[in-house]
Amino acid sequence: MANPLYDRLFGAHAGRQTPFLMLPDGTTLTHAAFLDRAAAIAHALSGLGLRPGDRLAAQVEKSPEALMLYAACVQSGVIFLPLNTAYTVEELTYFIDNSGARLVVCDATRAADLHPVAERLGARLETLNADGGGSLAERATATEPFPTVARTADDLAAFLYTSGTTGRSKGAMLSQGNLLSNAEVLARHWRFTAEDVLLHALPIFHTHGLFVATNITLVAGGAMIFLPRFDLDAMIDWMPRATALMGVPTFYTRLLGDDRFTRDLAAHMRLFVSGSAPLLAETHRRFEERTGHRILERYGMTETNMNTSNPYEGERRPGTVGFPLPGVELKVTDPETGADLAQGAVGQIEVRGPNVFQGYWQMPEKTAAELRADGFFQTGDLGRIDDDGYLHIVGRGKDLIISGGYNIYPKEVEMVLDDQPGVLESAVIGVPHPDWGESPVAVIVPQPGAAPDLDAVAAAAAERLARFKRPQRLILAEALPRNTMGKVQKTTLRAQHANLFSP
């Protein structure tokens, strides 16, 4: 019986003794060995009473077994819900309750805290540890193949919960077709083959590390150097054996900060991809000077996986996220009316394609508000398309600053500030103001060892920006608050500086 996602990602490699996961201890797991173990876990899930369409919530450390759990869910038709390992018990309670998960899988160190939660919510609790042990692993003793459950492209494969910065997190429902279409398009677009070895240091509770990096490698039939987390020494040690790296901007700034990261070290690499947060133009420039490679930046989100990409061949333009991927339609619209805007105008980005999710779990009103009847998803991101067709992300709609009736797009101001001597990066936020409603404030992180001249920075802003766009305060900070994927948490900054202009 057909199961499109399993058949393409996993079943296609059945019996192959080819390398799949290269592990930090020097061992290598073949495709065949991985699938045999994943099938045993699928038997264990079935033995625990899970049926197609049931939800499994997993808060586990990154490991081969954690990836096998994903494969087992796909093979058995169980909807996989990966959860950030940093979530608290209170946060996990919401996800387990909202998703209606029948099984919760966690590290043994969290079992005591989560057991009463799971019991109260009618879910079973099993453990799976970073070393591959745990109660679920002990149940996975079957040696016979698991009969793959029939699924269609429209059947749900996963839930991913949004970050919830503007309210309760929403469970984005992703179908087999959503995940498979995106993986196949990206593998072709970025030229992945069975010869590729991906240096994988991303978490696998997020779309970037799981549904982009891992799924692409599986579609292509290649291998992964599977590191538990970003570790600079390990990245440098393993890079000569890799051909590609997918990372967040922090990966690249930390590599550039180490003298061992040289052109020779990166000579064997074919592709460096960055996403999940904007990459500074300065990082682009320094990376190309150091290695001869131009980082490929792309744009995606929880609800859609990847939407756009800079070209594999052609100009990879800093400050942009390239063009819509094949099969993806993208337009910029008026956030209030939904009307299409002229090229070059700033508006809300909307996308439509086989990658776009099925809606929010148990939130029909929110689904209807963000997913139009014609299939276009309102991303909440603000952007513009330049004369050459490249998409520029200006910011999140919720980050738009309205001061005295004028719209201020933080990214435009940040680009000016980031260009100034001694400035590593900046974040511009709107802070309540008694006269203007809100006023722009800039939080600036200095370059290592530098002390930016804030008067000079203000003068440069005055020269390049209209008066209403200029930050009313420049605040130095050691670092910007970020989430686990490197995105600046402007909600945190707004809370920290909410009383800056109070009488």
Q: What's the confidence (pLDDT) of residue 410?
A: 87
Sign of the C-alpha dihedral computed for residues 273, 176, 178 and 56 taken in this order: negative
253, 257, 249, 191: which is closest to 222 by C-alpha? Answer: 191
Delineate the domains of the chain, giving CATH numbers in brackets. Answer: 4-189 (3.40.50.12780), 230-396 (3.40.50.12780), 400-496 (3.30.300.30)
Summarised one tens digit per residue, pLDDT across range 41-80 is 999 999 999 999 999 999 999 999 999 999 999 999 999 9
Residue type, position 248, single letter: V
Can you read off the two tokens belonging to residue 403? 């001061």
500, 411, 480, 487: which is closest to 165 by C-alpha? Answer: 487
Q: What's the confidence (pLDDT) of residue 399?
A: 82
CA distance linking residue 28 with residue 20, whole number of Å:
7
Q: What is the DSSP letter of 134?
A: S
Residue type, position 480, single letter: L
Can you read off the two tokens belonging to residue 137? 């692993």
Q: What's the confidence (pLDDT) of residue 405?
A: 66
Largest CA-CA distance found in the chain, in angstroms, rounded: 72
What is the three-state SS of 291-337? HCCCCEEEEEECCCEEEEECCCCCCCCCCCCCEECCCCEEEEECCCC
- In this prediction, the residues of the chain whose per-residue pLDDT falls under 50 are 164-166
Buried b (16+ CB within 10 A) or exposed e, 405-429: eeebbbbbbbbbbbebeebbbbbbb
Rounded to two decimals, the pTM is 0.84
Q: What's the confidence (pLDDT) of residue 248?
A: 86
Q: What's the confidence (pLDDT) of residue 282?
A: 83
Burial of 433 (0-12, 13-18, 19+ CB in 10 A): middle
HSE-CB for 337 with a 13 A CA cutoff? 4
Q: What's the confidence (pLDDT) of residue 165?
A: 41
- Cβ neighbours around 186 below 10 Å, total: 26
